[in-house]
Amino acid sequence: MSTTEEGTSTKTGAAILQKYSKAAQVSLRIMAMAASLAAASIVLSSNQTVVIYGITAHVKYSYSPTYEFLAAANLIACVLSAISVLILYIIGKYAKSVNYFFFFLHDLVVMTLLMAACSAATAMGYLGRYGNKHAGWIAICGYLDSYCDRITVSVTLSYIAFLFYFFLAIISASKARPSTAQADK
């Protein structure tokens, strides 16, 4: 194989890799958007009314700042995912490593936001499910099973969106580095 043929095959291979990388990014962003939208809609519609020992108890997500934060973080992640897909579509042909650095920052911020919301909601869910005998907090999920199950599904979807953004941050970080061909110039 001559040097010209090797250069052509390298350029073709790089173009194919670029195409699949963009498709992977768009797919991950759309899946992250779907997971965070589903998580937000589930937590926003979570409420339950039960009668416990003759006392009516009503619970909904807005009674807990942690679950309000979970809903807000997922809505923000959903909107930012939609914006990033549009920007990726617009600048797709003109993508440079500096553009991917901004995507990396975006992905890192959204990933951190989702991680914080998931962590807080997991801690609150653990208290709801198991209580804390030392603090005198009783487990409420035995009485509010439907509410707790919906919150669990929402937190699980939030973790899935977090994982999508984790992978996006890795892809964006690798794309933000200048390639060896660019570094040699």
Percent of the chain with pLDDT over 90: 42
Cβ-Cβ contacts under 8 Å for 160 (sequence gap 6 or more): 35
Structure tokens, 139: 């487990």
pLDDT, tens digit, 9 for 90 and up, residues 101-127:
888 898 999 999 999 999 999 999 999
What is the pLDDT confidence band of residue 10, given thresholds at 50, 70 and 90? Answer: low
Q: Name the domain count of the chain.
A: 1
In DSSP notation, 158-175 reads HHHHHHHHHHHHHHHHHH
What is the pLDDT confidence band of residue 150, given thresholds at 50, 70 and 90? Answer: very high
In DSSP notation, the chain reads --HHHHHHHHHHHHHHHHHHHHHHHHHHHHHHHHHHHHHHHHHHT-EEEEEETTEEEEEEGGG-HHHHHHHHHHHHHHHHHHHHHHHHHHSGGG--HHHHHHHHHHHHHHHHHHHHHHHHHHHHHHHHHH-BTTTTBPP-TTT-HHHHHHHHHHHHHHHHHHHHHHHHHHHHHHHHSPPHHHHH-
What is the pLDDT confidence band of residue 184, given thresholds at 50, 70 and 90? Answer: very low
Domain carrying residue 133: 3-184
pLDDT, tens digit, 9 for 90 and up, residues 46-90:
888 888 788 888 888 888 899 999 999 999 999 999 998 888 878
Structure tokens, 34: 């779907």
Distance of CA 27 to the CA centre of its chain: 13
pLDDT of 72 reads: 96
Tokens 């979970």 belong to residue: 70
Give whole-number Cα distances, 171 to 166, 174, 178, in Å.
9, 5, 13
Higher pLDDT, 48 or 19: 48
What is the pLDDT confidence band of residue 154, given thresholds at 50, 70 and 90? Answer: very high
Whether 100 has a pLDDT exceeding 90, the answer reads no
